[in-house]
Structure 1
Amino acid sequence: MSQARDHGDDHWTTRRPFRSLKNVLPVLPLLIVAVVALVDIVGGAGMIWLPLLAAGPALAATTNRPRGVLCVGLLAAALSTALGVQDAVRGRELLAVLSAVVAVTLASALTSALRRRRERVLADVRSVAEAAQHALLKPVPETVGPFRAAVRYSAAAAEARIGGDLYALVATPYGVRMIVGDVRGKGLPAVGTAALVLGVFREAAYDEPDLLAVVGRIERSLARNLGGDDFVTAVVAGYPRPGHLEVINCGHAPPLLVRESGDVVPLDPARPTPPLGLRALSGEAPSLQVLPFADGEQLLLYTDGVTEARDQDREFYPLAEGLARHVSEEPARTLTALHDELLAHVGGRLHDDAALLLLRKPPLPEPVAAAAADTDADTDADAAPVAP
């Protein structure tokens, strides 16, 4: 599967500078204690520097376990005692310094314990979120039916790893079928709606010979479960037979068709259709477009988190131009380049969920293509009406 966990396979790798910094931070409290002690030894300032030794265990609370905090605090207390005796600090003042170091150490140890507990809870939540993501947004294999496929998905809430964008790609008795959509809103309600849409789609895609019937079942399910202001924009597409692409666009951004020449063409709907969940208000039924889809061509479905991503100058990301620049024979490579360019465009962090689904129909070898063409011609001849 080619899938981002920004879903970073990629909305989640740790960069090397941050890994290096993470390795240095646990040692930083010891360095601070050592620097304060060195300054005191060199300057001989006595009480001026000794209270700063408490900064060591205080900082350790953010990077170390409670045992590490206590060790740093013990070192700070020992050094403050030794330096206080060396600098002839009065007993009452030295006792005040030791009391401050001990108090800060104990408070920091407690803070460290609470921090580690929160980290464990967060790790559990992220583990559950990943399991939910795999159940909701199932991995897309590299090959589905006659297509090579790839997916990149980035949730705006990076810790949650799932959001309101949805996608699915399934091989059915009626050909390969797919959906890419965007639920209005964010958070858990959007995730619940996305789960509902995907569940109905996966079931209906196998049962319904007609792609319009698949959309109808999703619409009826949403009508029973959504509120009056909720809706889902989506593109539902199918490849029922060689050379024919069916597209139903329900208020969503138009898919992009990449011709074998490299030209990128938006597949604008012939008749606008309202988003899923709003048919009862508009009274309009979805329309089915049947378009040619030749071997070697590619189809990109995406959500508005991609096209509405802005840079620091508030300029939208030019998806069609980016796709034309990075298109290749490997969908995974194309989407990796697109995703990296998108993140660079926005400065490294998306502010909306974004999904990309790319399909490529590899050209058939010449003997196989000739046999397929003969089969299609025979099928068309058999289906032609006989004159009386």
Structure 2
Amino acid sequence: MGAQWQRSHALLVIPVVLIVVITVVDQLLPADVHLGPLLVIAPAITASFAGPWGTGLIGLLAMGAQTYIGWHFGVLFSRNVLVQILALAVLSALIVFFCVVRERHRRQLAQVRSVAEATQHVLLWPLPEEIGPLRIACLYLAAEDEAQVGGDLYAATSTDHGVRVMIGDVRGKGLAAIGEAALLIGAFREAAHQHADLPALATALEQSVSRNLSDLEPEEESGERFATALLVEVPESDHVTRVISCGHPPPLLLSPGSAVSVPVHPALPLGISGPAPADHAVDVFSFQPGDTLLLYTDGVIEARDGTGAFYPFAERVAQWAGNGPDRLLHLIRHDLLAHVGGRLDDDAAVIALARGPDAHRGRRHHGARP
């Protein structure tokens, strides 16, 4: 804020110099050539970088210069000069008024952004850089302008059964989906520590969503709200990682030079089957030290470019498999936004889980069923 204040005050030299130049040149030109009306340019350009007070000050200086020009030529009280001074005063006042309106909107926007940031920190707690045997980085891109949260969600916690991670996507996007996202995240944070296995955790989330989602549904969308979710359990000392998909895209397992989609057997999304227990199949795979696991939402793989082509997620990340989680997500963010031309049509989230080296070396289980 201090640097911005110093910059705006330094730029005030420009309109002041402009007023001086117009005043001096006007006196050097023939008597029938008048540059005084050009003085309105000074407050007009000041409004682009200064606030109402700075703009008003420049407007007063311009009026003073116009008055001096009229006095210099002995026509200060002529009708023409008086009209020019009055017109300059009116235009300067209008410019100051628009500055006041702009500053008010700017403060409102800053307040909205601060609320969005606070909401994001409350809803999506920043994931720790390290948890258990994992290094974690996350990326969130909201589709709606000025929003930092939306319908995509993620959470991670360390339990007695290992690190449990959830990534999900509620129906809809942007600010309208925040309530459903908050419901699912709250249910996960509580249930992740209460259930010994992933099917029981998935059932608890299904029951919580079915029980509470109706309170958040608009009447016109009754019975049409649901959420997809992917639950991952990474044990502390075992490389056999478990995953359950509730209608969510499967994770990508990155090894040096390759990106393989983990085979999953998805159940119905949360909120569709109702309170009846769903058949949640547990899929297992080997997550070895040096590998990276990417969890993502459909906003990533369904992002389209100008020709309608989907973002080739697996192909792009395969060439970046040797990077750490933070660098990897930096490359994904830049490449994804370049693919869509800078604007997404849906919320998008990605979590990178990198397993560090340890002393335990287990056998690889490729898509084995329990």
TM-score bin (small chain):
0.7 to 0.9
Query: Please, which moves more after superposition, 308-317 or 177-186?
Result: 308-317
| 1:1-388 correspondence to structure 2 within 5 Å | 29-30=15-16, 33=19, 37=23, 40=26, 44=30, 49-85=35-71, 91-226=78-213, 227=217, 228-240=223-235, 242-259=238-255, 261-270=256-265, 272-280=266-274, 285-364=279-358, 368-369=359-360
CA distance in 2, matches of 1:64, 1:309: 40
C-alpha separation between the residues in 1 aligned to 2:100 and 2:165?
A: 48
For residues 37 and 351 of structure 1, the distance between their equivalents in structure 2, rounded to whole angstroms, comes to 53
- Relative distance call for 1:310 and 1:33 in structure 2 (3 A) is farther
Q: How many angstroms does 1:211 deviate by?
A: 1.0
Are 2:199 and 2:282, in contact at CA under 8 Å, matched by a contact in 1?
A: yes
Report the Cα offset of residue 238 of structure 1. Answer: 1.0
Q: Is the Cα–Cα contact under 8 Å of residues 46 and 84 in structure 1 kept in the other structure? A: no
Distance 1:157 1:28 in 2: 38
Supply the AA of the counterpart residue of 2:230: V
The structural deviation recorded for 1:328 is 2.1
TM-score (norm 1): 0.80
Give the distance between the partners of 1:305 and 1:24, measured in 2 at CA.
44
Q: Which runs of 5+ in 1 are unaligned?
A: 1-17, 374-388
Secondary structure of 1:64's aligned partner:
coil
| Structure 2: gaps spanning 5 or more residues | 218-222, 364-370
Give me the CA root mean square deviation.
Answer: 3.1
How many pairs align? 350
1:93 CA displacement: 1.5
Q: Any idea what the Cα deviations from partners look like across 1:239-271, whole Å, max 9, x if unmatched?
A: 246121111112222210113x4321112423x
SS at match of 2:47: helix
Q: Quote the residue 1:13 is aligned against.
A: none
Distance in 2 between the 1:45 and 1:210 partners?
A: 93
More off after superposition, 191-200 vs 150-159:
150-159
Shift of 1:43: 5.4
The alpha-carbon deviation at position 108 of structure 1 amounts to 2.3
Q: Secondary structure at the match of 1:369?
A: coil
- Report if aligned partners of 1:66, 1:110 keep a CA contact under 8 Å in 2: yes
Identity among equivalent pairs (%): 43
The equivalent of 2:367 in structure 1 is: none
Alignment CA distance shift 1:44-1:302 (3 Å): farther
Kindly state the Cα deviation for residue 149 of structure 1 after the two structures are TM-superposed: 1.2
Give, in angstroms, the shift of residue 175 of structure 1.
0.8
Secondary structure (helix, strand or coil) at the match of 2:271 reads coil
Aligned-partner Cα distance in 2 for 1:191–1:29:
47
CA distance in 1, matches of 2:277, 2:14: 66
Deviation at 1:91, TM superposition (A): 1.3
